[in-house]
Amino acid sequence: MSSWLTAARAVGVAVAARHAADVDRHARFPQEALAALKEQKLLGIMVPQSEGGGGASISDIVAICYALGQSCASTAMIYAMHQIQVSCVVRHGVRSAWHRAFLKRLVGEQLLLASATSEAGIGGDVRSSLCAVEEHAGRFSLAKEATVISYADDADALLVTARRTPQSTGSDQVIVVVPRDGYSLERQQPWDALGMRGTCSHGYRLAARGESAQVIAVPYADVQAYTMLPTSHLVWSALWLGIASDALAKARAFVRAEAKLKPKVTPTGSLRLTQASILMQAAKSTLAASLRQYETALTSEDKLATLAFAVAMNNLKVGTSQTAVRVVGEALQICGLAGYRNDSPFCVAQHLRDVHSATIMVNNDRILANTASLQPALREDPDFLA
């Protein structure tokens, strides 16, 4: 186990879990957990060692997200979203002096990065923008009606998608790194949601400006396909399974208590617990295999660009989000009223509310429609374990 995972686990158990209910009740930013993660220097671990970071792999981040998901879903989601942004700058900003300097600052000051991809008028289609970057004399400005920016009030920098120029088509996009002193936010829609309440995902009118060098030169299409999409689906899946795992732990504790009461009778919930464990085992195996697939593909852009890779990453997201929701539902069924009551140690109400964000956080129907359109071009894989 990495020392990063040990530290993150300790933050999860000692800090994030302790404040999770209050964060949820007041829909507030999990400041205690994020302060502890910063104190442990866990925000810059994915930055390469050449820029002062820890050079952590995506596997390290996935393991941390799974651990945090068991303690506080909002903390885990914030950490995951931050690392998604970091991975984009690390992989695609490496040739730019501005972005390398920014990464050094990120490590030194433990900057928290947030994402402004969603936009009013385009729904959840991240591969299309209405707003545009306007450049003049080495500087840029842009204005965006951002329907959702999680933890924007507590972030130190944003990654914003926009059309490359005002003349560009909707899909000719770039992504821009904007530190806190380069943008203003006007809150439009407050975040009072079913779950993931601590992500504080309010809607904002965003105005940003800065040096043209802050725009990542690589087309956003590539940033999204090679880094943002696979990283998102891997780290999200990890934390959703973390939520499910904690719910299952409660269900197991409930079954154990039942068994103690009536030692000669197998508790009714045991069968359901077994079935839920099978679902979890399959989902975790898929996540581990997808992780391996991504780490192998990272060595070659050709592999990252294949349809099979894109479909595998989409299938991972749709599959784990569905499984996580199902497993938490099974945990509720096992615990019964004890799982339903907010005042019970077996309560899975918050797990249930938080985990339901999984299937709509980039809507599964949208992803399925996208994968469905690729089916005629796909081939069955003739090899297994080759």
Ligand X SMILES: Cc1cc2nc3c(=O)[nH]c(=O)nc-3n(C[C@H](O)[C@H](O)[C@H](O)COP(=O)(O)OP(=O)(O)OC[C@H]3O[C@@H](n4cnc5c(N)ncnc54)[C@H](O)[C@@H]3O)c2cc1C
Among the listed residues 152, 133, 140, the one whose alpha carbon sits nearest the alpha carbon of residue 205: 152
Please identify, using beta-carbon distances, which residue of 123 and 166 lies nearer to ligand X. Answer: 123
Among 75, 96, 129, 150, binds ligand X (CB under 6 A): 150
Find the residue with minimal CB distance to ligand X: 124
Calpha distance 28→77 (Å, rounded):
14
Please identify, using beta-carbon distances, which residue of 74 and 293 lies nearer to ligand X. Answer: 74
365 makes contact with ligand X (CB under 6 A) = yes
Please identify, using beta-carbon distances, which residue of 231 and 293 lies nearer to ligand X. Answer: 231
Least distance (Å) from ligand X to the CB of residue 55? 26
123 makes contact with ligand X (CB under 6 A) = yes
Least distance (Å) from ligand X to the CB of residue 359? 9
- Residues numbered 189 to 228 that lie near ligand X (CB under 6 A) are 196, 199, 201
171 makes contact with ligand X (CB under 6 A) = no
Least distance (Å) from ligand X to the CB of residue 367? 8
User: In angstroms, how far apart are the furthest CA atoms of the chain?
Assistant: 80
Least distance (Å) from ligand X to the CB of residue 193? 7
Q: Which stretch binds ligand X (CB under 6 A): 85-93, 114-122, 210-218, 288-296?
A: 114-122
Least distance (Å) from ligand X to the CB of residue 221? 17
Q: Which stretch binds ligand X (CB under 6 A): 43-51, 111-119, 180-188, 299-307?
A: 111-119
Angle, nearest 10°, between helix axes 73-92 and 229-261? 150
149 makes contact with ligand X (CB under 6 A) = yes
Please identify, using beta-carbon distances, which residue of 293 and 321 lies nearer to ligand X. Answer: 321
Other Cβ atoms within 10 Å of 379 Cβ, number: 7
> Which residues share a beta bridge with 178?
158
Among the listed residues 120, 210, 209, 130, the one whose alpha carbon sits nearest the alpha carbon of residue 166: 130
Distance of CA 242 to the CA centre of its chain: 12
> Which residues share a beta bridge with 211?
139
Please identify, using beta-carbon distances, which residue of 149 and 328 lies nearer to ligand X. Answer: 149
- Residues numbered 67 to 96 that lie near ligand X (CB under 6 A) are 81
Least distance (Å) from ligand X to the CB of residue 211? 23
Q: Which stretch binds ligand X (CB under 6 A): 32-40, 103-111, 320-328, 355-363?
A: 355-363
Please identify, using beta-carbon distances, which residue of 87 and 199 lies nearer to ligand X. Answer: 199
Calpha distance 269→258 (Å, rounded):
9
Least distance (Å) from ligand X to the CB of residue 124? 2
Least distance (Å) from ligand X to the CB of residue 307? 18
363 makes contact with ligand X (CB under 6 A) = yes
Least distance (Å) from ligand X to the CB of residue 8? 20
Q: How many residues does the chain have?
A: 386
148 makes contact with ligand X (CB under 6 A) = yes
237 makes contact with ligand X (CB under 6 A) = no
Q: Which stretch binds ligand X (CB under 6 A): 14-22, 109-117, 220-228, 248-256?
A: 109-117
Calpha distance 122→269 (Å, rounded):
45
Site residue total, ligand X (CB under 6 A)? 22
74 CB-contact burial (10 Å; exposed 0-12 / middle 13-18 / buried 19+): buried
232 makes contact with ligand X (CB under 6 A) = no
- Give me the residues that bind ligand X (CB under 6 A), please: 81, 114-118, 123-124, 148-150, 196, 199, 201, 357, 360-363, 365-366, 369
